[in-house]
Amino acid sequence: MGLLKNVLPALATAMLALTAPLTASAQGLIRDAEIEQILRGYADPLFEAAGLKPSDVNIYIVQDDTLNAFVAAGQNMFLHTGLIMESRTPEELKGVIAHETGHIAGGHSVTREAAMGAASGTSLITMGLGALALFAGAPDAALALFGSAPQFGLMTIFKFTRVEESAADQYGLTFLEKTGQSADGLVSFMENFRYQELMSESRRDPYFRSHPISSDRIAALSRRAKEVTAKSHPQSEHDIEQLAMMKAKLVGFIGPANRVASRYPATDQSLPAKYARAIAAYRAVDIKLSLTLTDELISIQPDNPYFHELKGQILFESGRAAESVPDHRRSVELAPQHALLKVNLARSLIGTKDDADLEEAEGLLQDALHLEHDNSFAWNQLAVVYARQGRIGDADLATAEEAYYRGDLSRAFVFATRARDKLTLETPNGQRADDIMALSDPRNRPRGSSRGGFSGMALQTQ
């Protein structure tokens, strides 16, 4: 489904109440296989250098024009789209990620949570659950969860101490050094925004409120950065191209309507420019033009999974599900590691209305759920497949899973109960229905709560 865009007005409102200038442009979280892949390519080596297991660190993309990056509830890193857009080089973005990884390595966010009081743990977990539900294509539930987690706002207004900032800088430099990368980006990013030091607190980008910038800090950073950079490899062309493609995609999908035309004039024949124009045409519902432009992209890079994904998305969204299958299938062949691409293909196969396609759709959804067990949209689609196959007990169970991962425990309980009545308790599915019933049972929930909080997370580790 390409760049899955979710606008969260209630979240923005909830956060607005807390910190008006800071969150005015906050709109929610987005998922996109390509952008996630690129960010992983930048971040994973740094996580490894920090002794972290990359698969244990979640990266969330926040649709927000302001500059910000933060870590929350342990190993969860949030990057604003504004940060990606304002990074002039991959080295700048990697520098910020290295610094944030430094906060994880230094245990700073944990210290903060402790300082925020005992209650904060629960609301951060709630936020995480909301984030996961949102990712899975269920903005309503996520909206409710986010609305109940005002600490999301707090996470961006707390301030690291100067000691913590300096420690995170030094850790970040170490991780860059270990991966043979230049520290120039971290320094140039700070220098580019050092004017914010002179601005009043409320006018600064959130990043420079939580991570106070100062001349002393930049000076300390620069000294060691020179040594790190002297030993580094030059930035790869590949990384540079990927940043440009990521920006083009973001401008195309979430930028203001006229931004593509101004940033990528017709004379610009680069691949990112063509990409941005294809997406802009799709957004403007000019299907013919967007298909022409996307076909041109595919002719330039026939093996780019995300060009096929875009074409599949355009066709599917314009009511041509069967026609979208070959491109979605190609995207899965080219990038089999992405659950989101498998779900796209499954959705198109379901959309053909041909029952002969259901078995393949089921296999794809099972594969996707193997990669992302908490993907509630995949559960939703699986329920559709089972219902059409007449497997009503399995369909009820899949609906219970969907509701569970969206955080709607009342609905999860209803459907898990129905599923258990139809399935044999001795089978894995029957057992699973019983488990969801226990986890979502209203008698086990705190009064006045429709969600599971910690119990909700326990199941997600499966």
Site for Zn ion, rule CB under 5 A: 160, 165, 168, 211
Phi, psi dihedrals of residue 29, rounded to the nearest 5°: -110, 150
Tokens encoding 45: 């080596």
Q: Give the nearest distance from C-beta 99 to Zn ion in angstroms.
A: 5
Q: Give the nearest distance from C-beta 342 to Zn ion in angstroms.
A: 36
Q: Which is nearer to Zn ion, 84 or 221 (CB)?
A: 221
Phi-psi region of 2 (alpha: psi -120 to 50; beta: other; left: phi over 0): left
DSSP code per residue over 145-188: HHHT-THHHHHTT----HHHHHHHHHHHHHHHHHTT--SHHHHH
The residues facing 60 across adjacent strands are: 78
Tokens encoding 218: 């930049």
DSSP reduced 3-state for 374: coil
Q: Give the nearest distance from C-beta 168 to Zn ion in angstroms.
A: 5
Q: Give the nearest distance from C-beta 9 to Zn ion in angstroms.
A: 30
CB 194 within 8 A of CB 213: yes
Q: Give the nearest distance from C-beta 57 to Zn ion in angstroms.
A: 16
Q: Which is nearer to Zn ion, 100 or 184 (CB)?
A: 100
Tokens encoding 125: 């977990």
Q: Give the nearest distance from C-beta 349 to Zn ion in angstroms.
A: 46
Q: Which is nearer to Zn ion, 112 or 308 (CB)?
A: 112
Q: Which is nearer to Zn ion, 53 or 162 (CB)?
A: 162
CB 3 within 8 A of CB 54: no
Q: Which is nearer to Zn ion, 169 or 394 (CB)?
A: 169
Look at strands 58-63 and 76-80 and give their pairing. Answer: parallel
Closest residue to Zn ion, judged by C-beta, is: 211
Neighbours of 39 (CB within 10 A): 22
CB 125 within 8 A of CB 454: yes
Report the distance separating Cα 370 and Cα 302, nearest Å: 28
Q: Give the nearest distance from C-beta 422 to Zn ion in angstroms.
A: 53
Q: Give the nearest distance from C-beta 127 to Zn ion in angstroms.
A: 20
CB 42 within 8 A of CB 67: no
Q: Which is nearer to Zn ion, 168 or 315 (CB)?
A: 168
Q: Which is nearer to Zn ion, 73 or 168 (CB)?
A: 168
DSSP reduced 3-state for 72: strand
Q: Give the nearest distance from C-beta 96 to Zn ion in angstroms.
A: 9
Element (H, E) at 30: strand 28-30
Q: Which is nearer to Zn ion, 29 or 96 (CB)?
A: 96
Report the distance separating Cα 387 and Cα 20, nearest Å: 46
CB 341 within 8 A of CB 310: no
Tokens encoding 23: 């969150």
Q: Give the nearest distance from C-beta 324 to Zn ion in angstroms.
A: 43
- Tell me how many helices (H) and strands (E) the chain has: 26, 4
DSSP 76: E
CB 345 within 8 A of CB 364: yes
Q: Which is nearer to Zn ion, 65 or 165 (CB)?
A: 165
Q: Give the nearest distance from C-beta 64 to Zn ion in angstroms.
A: 18
Q: Which is nearer to Zn ion, 97 or 280 (CB)?
A: 97
Tell how far CA 305 is from the center of its chain. Answer: 19
Phi, psi dihedrals of residue 82, rounded to the nearest 5°: -60, -35
Q: Which is nearer to Zn ion, 167 or 297 (CB)?
A: 167
